[in-house]
């Protein structure tokens, strides 16, 4: 096993199972909470579902050929829990694991390093019926799934990401009701927040003892809040947002403690020994970064605040997300200065812009190129100031199912025509290909900015 400190910097792209795979009822896959949510009228724009998505399940070879031509060295994908363990626990589903076997083999044959995420939100529905992450039993369910999956693929997959953005899963899924499982229940939100941390810690512990050569980490979304107006209450709520969104996951993992202001809310769910379980050594931290949140005090909201669009003068993507590369640099510096932080991979960064196919049949997405260029530069500024970043993954390789917004928001370097399922590489794909060619042999991340 190579020492990760000598690994080359990884340029990559990221996707997630429910957002791209399709084949929702094939090969013995059982429904996940996202199948149920998307099929519930009114939950997803236009009634879009992941039934077919990008049909990556059938077209993964074509997609890996696109990755090879792009020249990426690493690919982050997620495992669909309900494809490999349709019952949620215990009995593995051979055709489900076979799919990931073939996917990993094809990646390795193409010289691509796989980064596998175990949980990118698509919990088997059968486990949600038993309470999902609000039920403390999820600690055992998740550990069992993690071990079975890592044992099956871990002879080739070295990098394992436990969770993707637990804050989004807890908050949008259990407090705001905007994501599966669609709850608006403060107690469930609090229980889920703690149980995500606990399940992650238990899985890290058992995977570490199963195979010490695996590189283990998790992916958090760093999304700082700023007050949207001059009210004192909004400033206080921006701090609350920071605690709930960022510090509730960074704190227990890296420092063994929940933020002091939030602890009383979580305490009913925290048992003796839990914080020791959560505080595990991680080989890396995955960071997803998109934007800041503009926070407004709102006493009618379940969490006490709401997130609003940025002020009109602020540059933004088609999602109304602030474009602010300095914040990307600064949040990395803040992380380094605030927590004992392991090496970092930027496991997602990217932008939705409305794309059009021009008369020449191409997608001239100059705004996405500009965005990526500026954000990569900001990351390199953080590296130059000593932040240990070892990889960068664009979200996303393909346009895909953007959760409650369905197929409308397009984040891909490759356009997908959701009628014909044809793939059309955008200008940003060719830009990233050329960028990687110029920057591919960087072994010491800190030299990255010098070579630009
Ligand atoms: C998330 C997820 C991705 C999203 C991406 C764009 O952050 O929500 O990890 O699944 O698609 O971030 O919103």
In tens digits, the chain (452 residues) has pLDDT values of 344 445 689 999 999 999 999 999 999 999 999 999 999 999 999 999 999 999 999 999 999 999 999 999 999 999 999 999 999 999 999 999 999 999 999 999 999 999 999 999 999 999 999 999 999 999 999 999 999 999 999 999 999 999 999 999 999 999 999 999 999 999 999 999 999 999 999 999 999 999 999 999 999 999 999 999 999 999 999 999 999 999 999 999 999 999 999 999 999 999 999 999 999 999 999 999 999 999 999 999 999 999 999 999 999 999 999 999 999 999 999 999 999 999 999 999 999 999 999 999 999 999 999 999 999 999 999 999 999 999 999 999 999 999 999 999 999 999 999 999 999 999 999 999 999 999 987 654 444 443 33
Cα–Cα dist 172/23, whole Å: 25
3-class SS at 423? strand
Q: What spacing in Å lies between the alpha carbon of 128 and ligand 1's midpoint?
A: 21
> Which region holds residue 55: left if phi is over 0, alpha if psi is between -120 and 50, else beta?
left
Q: Which atom of ligand 1 is found nearest the CA of 168?
A: 8
Six-digit token pair at 90?
């215990």
Every domain of the chain and the residues it spans: 4-217+338-449
Structure confidence at residue 450 (pLDDT) = 38
Other CB atoms closer than 10 Å to residue 311's CB: what's the count?
A: 11
Sequential DSSP letters for 27-50: TTPPPBHHHHHHTSTTSSGGG--S
| Closest to 342 measured CA to CA, from 393, 276, 386, 389 | 389
| Closest to 226 measured CA to CA, from 319, 368, 327, 157 | 327
Structure confidence at residue 6 (pLDDT) = 53
Six-digit token pair at 132?
């999902």
Ligand 1 binding pocket includes 402 (Cβ within 6 Å): yes
Q: Select from 118, 180, 348 the residue to mutate for testing ligand 1; criterion: most ligand atoms less than 8 Å from CB.
A: 348
Cα–Cα dist 440/452, whole Å: 12
Report the nearest-CA residue for atom 1 of ligand 1.
165
Ligand 1 binding pocket includes 411 (Cβ within 6 Å): yes
73 burial via Cβ count (<10 Å: 0-12, 13-18, 19+): middle
Residue 147 near residue 201, CB atoms below 8 Å: no
Ligand 1 binding pocket includes 221 (Cβ within 6 Å): yes
Q: What does the CA dihedral 14, 373, 339, 5 come to, rounded to 10 degrees?
A: 70
Ligand 1 binding pocket includes 284 (Cβ within 6 Å): no
Q: What's the CATH superfamily of 4-217+338-449?
A: Glycosidases (3.20.20.80)
Element (H, E) at 329: helix 325-338
Residues annotated as part of the active site: 165, 348
The angle that helices 56-70 and 94-109 make with each other, rounded to 10 degrees, is 20
Q: Which atom of ligand 1 is found nearest the CA of 219?
A: 9
Six-digit token pair at 318?
């088609």
Q: Select from 34, 117, 165, 349 the residue to mutate for testing ligand 1; criterion: most ligand atoms less than 8 Å from CB.
A: 165
Q: What spacing in Å lies between the alpha carbon of 409 and ligand 1's midpoint?
A: 11
Q: Which residues on neighbouring strands pair with residue 285, listed in sequence order?
A: 218, 344
Other CB atoms closer than 10 Å to residue 375's CB: what's the count?
A: 24
Q: Which atom of ligand 1 is found nearest the CA of 403?
A: 11
Q: What spacing in Å lies between the alpha carbon of 173 and ligand 1's midpoint?
A: 13
């Amino acid at each position: 096993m190579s020492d990760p400190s000598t690994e080359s910097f990884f340029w990559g792209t990221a996707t997630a199972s429910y957002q791209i795979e399709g084949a929702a009822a094939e090969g013995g896959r059982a429904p996940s909470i996202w199948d149920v949510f998307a099929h519930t009228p009114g939950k997803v724009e236009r009634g879009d579902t992941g039934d077919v998505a990008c049909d990556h399940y059938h077209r993964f070879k074509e997609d890996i050929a696109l990755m090879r031509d792009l020249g990426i060295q690493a690919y982050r994908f997620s495992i669909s829990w309900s494809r490999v363990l349709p019952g949620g626990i215990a009995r593995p589903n051979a055709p489900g694991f076979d799919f990931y076997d073939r996917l990993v083999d094809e990646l390795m044959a193409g010289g691509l390093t796989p980064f596998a995420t175990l949980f990118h939100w698509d919990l088997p529905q059968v486990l949600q019926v038993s309470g999902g992450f609000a039920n403390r039993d999820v600690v055992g369910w998740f550990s069992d799934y993690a071990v079975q999956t890592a044992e099956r693929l871990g002879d080739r997959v070295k990098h394992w990401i436990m969770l993707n953005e637990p804050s989004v899963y807890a908050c949008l899924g259990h407090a705001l009701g905007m994501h599966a499982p669609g709850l608006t229940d403060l107690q469930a939100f609090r229980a889920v927040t703690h149980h995500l941390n606990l399940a992650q810690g238990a899985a890290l512990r058992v995977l570490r003892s199963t195979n010490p050569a695996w590189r283990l980490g998790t992916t958090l979304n760093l999304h700082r809040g700023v007050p949207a107006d001059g009210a004192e209450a909004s400033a206080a709520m921006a701090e609350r947002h920071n605690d709930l969104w960022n510090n509730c996951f960074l704190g227990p993992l890296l420092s063994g403690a929940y933020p002091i202001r939030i602890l009383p809310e979580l305490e009913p769910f925290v048992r003796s020994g839990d914080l020791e379980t959560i505080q595990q050594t991680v080989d890396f931290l995955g960071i997803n970064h998109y934007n800041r949140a503009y926070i407004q005090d709102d006493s009618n909201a379940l969490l006490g605040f709401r997130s609003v669009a940025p002020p009109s003068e602020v540059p933004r993507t088609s999602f109304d997300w602030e474009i602010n590369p300095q914040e990307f640099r600064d949040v990395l510096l803040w992380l380094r200065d605030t927590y004992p932080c392991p090496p970092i991979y930027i496991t997602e960064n990217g932008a939705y812009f409305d794309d059009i196919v021009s008369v020449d049949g191409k997608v001239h997405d100059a705004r996405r190129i500009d965005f990526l260029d500026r954000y990569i530069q900001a990351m390199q500024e953080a590296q130059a100031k000593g932040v240990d970043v070892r990889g960068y993954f664009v979200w996303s390789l393909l346009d895909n199912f953007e959760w409650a917004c369905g197929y409308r928001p397009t984040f891909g370097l490759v356009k997908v025509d959701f009628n014909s399922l044809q793939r059309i590489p955008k200008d940003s794909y060719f830009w990233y290909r050329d960028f990687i060619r110029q920057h591919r042999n960087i072994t010491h991340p800190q030299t990255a900015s010098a070579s630009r």
